[in-house]
Structure 1
Amino acid sequence: MAEDDILPRPIDQNTPTTSDVRIQQSWERCASAYNMDPAQGWIADVLSGAEFRQASGRSALLLKSAMGEMRRLFDLVQGMGLMVLLADPDATILARCADETHLSVCRRLHLRKGAIWHESAAGTNGVGTCVKEKCPIFLGQGEHWRFCFSLLASYAAPVFDAQGRVAGALNLAAFSGNTTKPYAALVMETLLQSGRRIEEQLFRAHYAGHKILTLGPAEGCSSPLVALNTDGEVTGATHSSRMLMGWTDDMIKDHPNLLTELESGTEISLQKAEESVVRSVLATSHGNVAATARSLGISRATLYRKMKALNIQ
Structure 2
Amino acid sequence: MGKWSSHSDKVLDTVQSGQAAAVSAVAASWCRSALRHGLDPSGARRKERLYDSELAALRAGKGELLAAAAPALDSLFGTVGRSGACVILSDVDGVVLEARSGAAETGLYDAIGLVNGAVWSEAVEGTNGIGTCLVERRPVAILREEHFASRNIGVSCMDAPVFDPEGRLVAALDVSSARPEHGDAMAGMIAALVKDAARAIERDYFCRRFSSARIVLAGEEHGSGPSLLAVDRDDLVIGATRVARKHFGLGTGPRLAPRPLADVMGQGDAAGFEDGERAVLRQALARSNGNVAAAARLLGIGRATMYRRMERAGMAGRVH
Give the corresponding residue for 1:175: 178
Instruction: Name the CA distance, whole Å, in 2 between partners of 1:201 and 1:126.
Output: 24
Q: 2:151 aligns with which of 148, 152, 168?
A: 148
Give the corresponding residue for 1:34: 37
Contact 2:166 2:255 in 1 (8 A): no
Secondary structure class of the residue paired with 2:170? strand
Give the corresponding residue for 1:8: 6
Give the corresponding residue for 1:46: 49
Give the corresponding residue for 2:206: 203
Instruction: Name the CA distance, whole Å, in 1 between partners of 2:146 and 2:20.
Output: 7
Instruction: Name the CA distance, whole Å, in 1 between partners of 2:216 and 2:173.
Output: 25
Percent identity (aligned): 24
**CA displacement 1:177-218 (0-9 Å, x = unmatched):** 661411333211211111111111111111012111112125
Instruction: Name the CA distance, whole Å, in 2 between partners of 1:100 and 1:59.
Output: 26
Instruction: Name the CA distance, whole Å, in 1 between partners of 2:178 and 2:228.
Output: 36
Contact 1:136 1:221 in 2 (8 A): no
Instruction: Name the CA distance, whole Å, in 1 between partners of 2:84 and 2:20.
Output: 24
Give the corresponding residue for 1:304: none
Give the corresponding residue for 1:92: 95
Contact 1:222 1:239 in 2 (8 A): no
Contact 1:159 1:221 in 2 (8 A): no
**Cα drift, residue 20 of structure 1:** 7.5
Instruction: Name the CA distance, whole Å, in 1 between partners of 2:255 and 2:265.
Output: 14
Change (3 A) 1:178 1:246: farther
Change (3 A) 1:154 1:221: farther
**Cα drift, residue 19 of structure 1:** 9.6
Secondary structure class of the residue paired with 2:176? strand
Instruction: Name the CA distance, whole Å, in 2 between partners of 1:139 and 1:17.
Output: 17
Give the corresponding residue for 1:75: 78
Secondary structure class of the residue paired with 1:91? coil
**CA displacement 1:54-97 (0-9 Å, x = unmatched):** 11012111111222321211111123321101111111001111
May I ask how many residue pairs the two structures share in their alignment?
264
Contact 2:92 2:169 in 1 (8 A): yes
Secondary structure class of the residue paired with 2:114? coil
Change (3 A) 1:194 1:208: same
Contact 1:141 1:176 in 2 (8 A): no
Normalised by the length of structure 2, the TM-score is 0.75
Instruction: Name the CA distance, whole Å, in 2 between partners of 1:109 and 1:80.
Output: 18
Secondary structure class of the residue paired with 2:146? coil
Show the 5 A alignment for 1:136-285. Answer: 136-176=139-179, 179-249=182-252, 253-263=256-266
Secondary structure class of the residue paired with 1:142? helix
Instruction: Name the CA distance, whole Å, in 2 between partners of 1:20 and 1:103.
Output: 37
**CA displacement 1:11-30 (0-9 Å, x = unmatched):** 72427999984323211111
Instruction: Name the CA distance, whole Å, in 1 between partners of 2:250 and 2:95.
Output: 29
**Aligned residue type for 2:137:** K
Q: 1:102 aligns with which of 101, 105, 109?
A: 105
**CA displacement 1:245-290 (0-9 Å, x = unmatched):** 23225596321234323439xxxxxxxxxxxxxxxxxxxx9xx7xx
Give the corresponding residue for 2:300: none
Contact 2:236 2:261 in 1 (8 A): yes
Contact 2:99 2:115 in 1 (8 A): yes
Higher mean displacement: 218-227 or 113-122:
218-227
Secondary structure class of the residue paired with 2:220? coil
Give the superposed CA RMSD: 2.6
**CA displacement 1:82-131 (0-9 Å, x = unmatched):** 11011111110011110222222212211111111111011111111111
**CA displacement 1:205-232 (0-9 Å, x = unmatched):** 1101211111212532532111111222
Secondary structure class of the residue paired with 1:78? helix
Contact 2:166 2:254 in 1 (8 A): no
Change (3 A) 1:221 1:127: farther
Change (3 A) 1:5 1:75: farther
Instruction: Name the CA distance, whole Å, in 2 between partners of 1:245 and 1:256.
Output: 11
Tell me if 1:55 matches 2:58.
yes
**Aligned residue type for 2:240:** A
Secondary structure class of the residue paired with 1:27? helix
Change (3 A) 1:21 1:207: farther
Instruction: Name the CA distance, whole Å, in 2 between partners of 1:72 and 1:23.
Output: 30
Give the corresponding residue for 1:293: none
**Aligned residue type for 1:8:** S
Higher mean displacement: 205-214 or 95-104:
95-104
